[in-house]
């Protein structure tokens, strides 16, 4: 579904120096696979996500989605950002319909689909509310609905729950699993949270910084459906422990990272 | 006082009542002081004298008011019609803004009062120079406010538009302009108050009617009470127009007037 082939991304900083954000990264992601990108800050995981989404272009190498090279944002790709980025002047319904309005594809069925998505995301009855009347978690639910409205095959999520409090975050993780079960998609999910990545993903791609590259790809053997009880299983602990040692391995072991 | 809504309405009644009482008190003191110290009318007229002089020729005063109001409103509308596209143009690229911005600042450094007589020669003794001066006084803060609004759109919203392949026009229409609405309205509030100033400056220099004209002609004949009456009407006009902008924002862009709609 997604093919990243020896991609390197170099940014020119303001003082003219070149900064290599990603170096020679390759990966393949299958249809309806849930892949998490994990790594310390500056490992280029958001950059990689933006390149798959067509918002940035690689300096070297190529990215293919469904067999065609990515040259710009694609219709079959939906993006969820860290902040909900809802339009403050539009209701939840209008925010969800926003992509279709931009693409001039609002038809009779669009309304029904929007209402169905809003219900699916647990926002029933909030269609006419404005973003400022919603909690942070509800705003992010609306943003997920918006990313799903044109029924994309691929959902790119850039730390979507990073700005939420810990409890809301756990709740949203389960919600996302539920939505993904009802509407299977290829999901690329960038996160800082190791438990979140293991709980959600089929494969966790661990990245290392400066320059960003893939440290290791870890298969998560946990059976689905998963819930928080899965965290107690030895497989979960083994995966999380391995990821932790990859990320912190270069550093001196510390008590608070050993758990 | 158990009922919170009753308490709130009492509180808001107090907010209106208290300043009104202070104002009435000041007018009474003014009236009494003029009477007590025997201040001559052409130096400081008593409120009653202002009232009598103004209402005596109420019809004529209304004609002058409407003339000024027309200049203010037309000048204000011209300011909007020019500022909006200008701000969009300036913010389109850093090149354009670098090229045009200093020129804008230059127009602001010209004293409008000095420019007025020159404009009368160029444009003739008619409505045109008054509207142009009103525009010149009012448009600058409006352009700055709109441009600031257009440029302060969070980069995530722009990226959102790009991820759906929004054209430049769609980005402007569906993201940048709506986002700028609160900024536009704060600019409009400043501009409408300045438009009244601009219209009066225009009327001082060349006019045969309008409240500015009424002030110059009546002071020339030491009819100070009438001049005071015209001045008060100008203040009222400023307040009414300002409130009109506030109401338009509340009615048509309720999300713009900010947090008070949520709390209240």
SS (HEC) of chain B: CCCHHHHHHHHHHHHHHHHHHHHHHHHHHHHHHHHHHCCCCCCCCCHHHHHHHHHHCHHHHHHHHHHHHHHHHHHHHHHHHHHHHHHHHHHHCHHHHHHHHHHHHHHHHCCHHHHHHHHHHHHCCCHHHHHHHHHHHHHHHHHHHHHHHHHCCCHHHHHHHHHCCCCHHHHHHHHHHHHHHHHHHHHHHHHHHHHHHHHHHHHHHCCCCCHHHHHHHHHHCCCHHHHHHHHHHHHHHHHHHHHHHHHHHHHHCCCCCCCHHHHC
- Four-point Cα dihedral B251, B252, B255, B259, nearest 10: -30
CA distances in angstroms from A180 to A38, A103, A183, A234, B57, listed in the order given: 20, 24, 5, 25, 78
Percent of chain A clearing pLDDT 70 (strictly above): 96
Does residue A67 sit in the same domain as residue A94?
no
For the segment B113-163, what is each residue's pLDDT rounded down to a tens digit? 888 889 888 988 788 999 999 999 999 999 999 999 999 998 889 989 988
- With 0-12 CB in 10 A as exposed, 13-18 as middle and 19+ as buried, what is B225? buried
For the segment B15-34, what is each residue's pLDDT rounded down to a tens digit? 889 999 999 999 999 999 99
Of A134, A151, A168, the residue at which a domain comes to its end is: A151
A187 has which bridge partners?
A34, A155
Q: Cβ A98–B164 below 8 Å, yes or no?
A: yes
Query: Is some CB atom of chain B closer than 8 A to the CB atom of A236?
Result: no
Per-residue pLDDT at A257 exceeds 50: no
Shortest Cα distance, chain B CAs vs residue A91, angstroms:
10
Domain with residue A211: its CATH number is 3.40.50.300
Choose which CATH entry (3.90.120.10, 1.10.3720.10, 3.10.20.30, 1.10.1740.10) describes domain B47-263. Answer: 1.10.3720.10
Q: Cβ A101–B174 below 8 Å, yes or no?
A: yes
Q: What is the pLDDT of residue B97?
A: 85
Percent of chain B clearing pLDDT 70 (strictly above): 96
Q: What is the pLDDT of residue A249?
A: 74
Q: Which of A74, A81, A89, A158 to mutate to test the interface with B (most CBs of B within 10 A)?
A: A89
Does residue A93 sit in the same domain as residue A198?
no
Query: Is some CB atom of chain B closer than 8 A to the CB atom of A88?
Result: yes
Does residue A29 sit in the same domain as residue A126?
no
What is the tally of structural domains in chain A? 2
Shortest Cα distance, chain B CAs vs residue A250, angstroms:
34
Of A151, A168, A200, the residue at which a domain comes to its end is: A151
For the segment B48-61, what is each residue's pLDDT rounded down to a tens digit? 999 999 999 999 99
Does residue A106 sit in the same domain as residue A172?
no
Q: Cβ A53–B163 below 8 Å, yes or no?
A: yes
Compare all CA atoms of chain A with the CA of B160 and give the residue at the minimum distance.
Answer: A85
ipTM associated with this complex: 0.79
Distance CA B254, CA B256 (A): 5
Compare all CA atoms of chain A with the CA of B158 and give the residue at the minimum distance.
Answer: A85
Closest CA to A78 of A187, A205, A190: A187
CA distances in angstroms from B26 to A200, B21, B23, B232, B235, listed in the order given: 72, 9, 5, 15, 17
């Amino acid at each position: 579904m997604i093919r990243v082939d020896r991609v390197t991304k170099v940014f020119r900083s303001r003082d003219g120096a070149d900064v290599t954000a990603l170096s020679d990264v390759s990966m393949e992601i299958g249809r309806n696979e849930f892949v998490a990108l994990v790594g310390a800050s500056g490992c280029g995981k958001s950059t990689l996500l933006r390149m798959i989404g067509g918002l940035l272009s690689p300096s070297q190498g190529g990215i293919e989605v469904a067999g065609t090279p990515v040259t710009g944002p694609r219709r079959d790709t939906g993006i969820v950002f860290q902040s909900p980025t809802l339009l403050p002047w539009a209701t939840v319904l209008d925010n969800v319909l926003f992509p279709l309005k931009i693409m001039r594809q609002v038809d009779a069925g669009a309304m029904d689909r929007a209402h169905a998505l809003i219900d699916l995301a647990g926002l029933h009855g909030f269609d006419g509310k404005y973003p400022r009347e919603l909690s942070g978690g509800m705003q992010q639910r609306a943003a997920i609905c918006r990313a799903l409205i044109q029924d994309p095959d691929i959902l790119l999520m850039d730390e979507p729950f990073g700005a939420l409090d810990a409890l809301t975050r756990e709740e949203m993780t389960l919600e996302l699993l539920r939505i993904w079960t009802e509407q299977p998609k290829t999901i690329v999910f960038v996160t800082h949270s190791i438990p979140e990545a293991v709980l959600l993903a089929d494969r966790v791609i661990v990245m290392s910084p400066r320059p960003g590259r893939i440290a290791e790809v870890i298969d998560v053997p946990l059976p689905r459906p998963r819930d928080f009880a899965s965290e107690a299983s030895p497989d979960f602990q083994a995966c999380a422990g391995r990821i932790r040692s990859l990320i912190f391995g270069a550093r001196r072991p510390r008590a608070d990272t050993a758990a | 006082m158990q009922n919170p809504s009753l308490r709130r309405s009492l509180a808001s009644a107090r907010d209106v009542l208290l300043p009104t009482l202070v104002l009435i008190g000041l007018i009474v003191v003014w009236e009494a002081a003029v009477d007590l110290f025997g201040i001559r009318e052409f130096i400081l007229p008593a409120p009653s004298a202002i009232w009598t002089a103004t209402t005596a020729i109420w019809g004529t005063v209304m004609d002058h008011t409407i003339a000024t109001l027309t200049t203010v409103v037309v000048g204000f509308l011209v300011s909007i019609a020019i500022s909006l596209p200008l701000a969009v143009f300036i913010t389109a690229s850093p090149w354009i803004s670098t090229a045009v911005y200093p020129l804008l600042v230059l127009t602001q450094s010209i004293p409008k009062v000095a420019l007025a007589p020159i404009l009368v020669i160029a444009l003739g003794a008619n409505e045109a120079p008054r509207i142009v001066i009103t525009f010149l006084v009012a448009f600058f803060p409006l352009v700055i406010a709109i441009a600031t609004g257009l440029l302060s759109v969070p980069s995530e919203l722009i990226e959102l538009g790009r991820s759906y392949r929004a054209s430049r026009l769609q980005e402007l229409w569906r993201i940048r302009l709506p986002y700028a609405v609160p900024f536009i309205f704060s600019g409009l509030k400043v501009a409408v108050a300045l438009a009244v100033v601009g219209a009066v400056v225009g009327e001082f220099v060349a006019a045969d009617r309008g409240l500015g004209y009424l002030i110059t002609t009546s002071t020339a004949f030491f009819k100070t009470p009438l001049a005071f009456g015209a001045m008060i009407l100008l203040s009222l006009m400023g307040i009414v127009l300002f409130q009109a902008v506030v109401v338009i924002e509340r009615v048509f862009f309720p999300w713009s007037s900010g947090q008070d709609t949520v709390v209240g």
